[in-house]
Amino acid sequence: MTSTISLTIDGQPVEAPADATVLQAAEAAGITIPTLCHHPNLTPPAVCRLCVVEWEGRRTLQPACVTQVAADAVIHTRSPRVDLARRTILEMLATTVDLSDAPELRAMLAEYDAHPERFGEDLTRREHEVIIDNSFFVRDYDKCVLCWRCVEACGTDMEHAFALGFSGRGFETSIATFFENPMPETTCVFCGNCVGVCPTGALKDRRVFELEMATDY
């Protein structure tokens, strides 16, 4: 039996299990914290940093998805620092990838008053050809935000197929197969889990993709 502790989130007294994350504690108290890479069925990679919150007395902002609550913590899920961080990350994301298939992210851009255009036009972007190499799903990495969900779903979190990994590093990272081979030549078992967890339409059911293509014209 885990004990219950008390803390303060956004000025509101909150009770939470001692092993809860800040995200869980906030959700239980009806406070919404935005997330992107987080998925309930996957190990939180805590890479997107959109869920960061301000924890009084801690040097940096804390990712709510993986940070454990503590007794008497005073946490702010919205503050000028938090908003600046979320806004800047969203702006940089929007100037890097195609978010047209990510309505939740576009809503977040509006909520945080993000203005990607202030970054100017002459920016390095991540551009990839659409990969159609199997009859089940299409990979459009122009839309990939590198949330790691597909890699985790393909690996130890779900399928243990280990077909997906990474090419490059830093900004130039991309999700890739072994030596970037076509999907049918990899260990992919076409379980579809990666498509199911993709939040931005980078991985898409091939029929859906073709239907969208057909109705675009």
Partner 1 sequence: MSYEPVLTARIGKIDPASLTDYEAHGGFQALIRAVELGPGRVVALMEEATLLGRGGAAFPAGIKWRAVHQAEGPKFVVANADESEPGTFKDRVLMEGDPYALIEAVILAGFATAADKGFIYVRGEYARAYQRLRHAIARCYEAGYLGRDILGSGFEFHIELRRGAGAYICGEETALFESIEGKRGYPRLKPPFPTQAGLFGRPTLINNVETLINALHIVLRGPAWFNSIGPAHSPGPKLYPLSGRVQRPGLVEAPMGITLRELIEEHGGGVSGSGEFRVALVGGAAGAFLGPDHLNTPLDFRSLASIGAALGSGAVIVFDTSVDMKPILQRIADFFAHESCGKCYPCQLGTMRQRDIIARMVAGQGRPGDLQLLRDIGQTMRDTSICGLGQTASNAILSAFELKLT
Partner 2 sequence: MTSPQTLALTPHQEQALQTLLRRYQGGGQSALLPLLHDIQAITGWVDEPTARAVAHTLGIPEIEVHNVLEFYTLFYNRPVGKHVIRVCNDLACMLAGHEAIIRALADHLGVPEQGGTSADGRFTLELHPCLGHCELAPFLMLDEEPMGPVSPDQIPDLLGGVS
Interface residues with partner 1 (CB under 8 A) are 45-50, 52, 60-61, 63, 66, 81, 84-85, 88-89, 92-93, 95-96, 118-120, 122-124, 145-146, 166, 168-173
Q: Which stretch binds partner 2 (CB under 8 A): 29-37, 77-85, 133-141, 166-174?
A: 166-174
* Strand-pair partners of 12: 9
84, interface contact from partner 2, partner 1, none, CB < 5-8 Å by kind: partner 1
Q: What are phi and psi of 188, to 5 degrees?
A: -60, 135
- Only segment of 42-50, 71-79, 134-142, 159-167 that touches partner 2 (CB under 8 A): 159-167
Instruction: Return the H-helix or E-strand segment holding 139.
Output: strand 137-139
Cβ nearer to partner 1, comparing 52 with 138: 52
Kindly tell me which of 96 and 177 has the beta carbon lying closer to partner 1. Answer: 96
Among the listed residues 90, 105, 144, 163, the single contact to partner 2 using CB under 8 A: 163
* Count of beta carbons in the 10 Å neighbourhood of residue 146: 23
The CA-based angle 45-82-74, given to 5 degrees, is 90
What SS3 state is found at 10?
coil
- Phi and psi, residue 106, nearest 5°: -65, -35
194 binds, among partner 1, partner 2, none (CB under 5 to 8 A by kind): none
CB 211 within 8 A of CB 171: no
Residue 40, contacted partner among partner 1, partner 2, none, CB below 5-8 A by kind: none
Taking the complex as a whole, the smallest distance from the CB of residue 176 to partner 2 amounts, in Å, to 7
Q: In angstroms, what is the minimal distance from the CB of 180 to partner 1?
A: 16
Rounded Cα distance between 181 and 189, Å, is 14
Task: Provide CB contacts within 8 A for 208, sequence distance 6+.
Answer: none
Return the number of the residue (171 or 178) whose C-beta is nearest partner 2.
Answer: 178
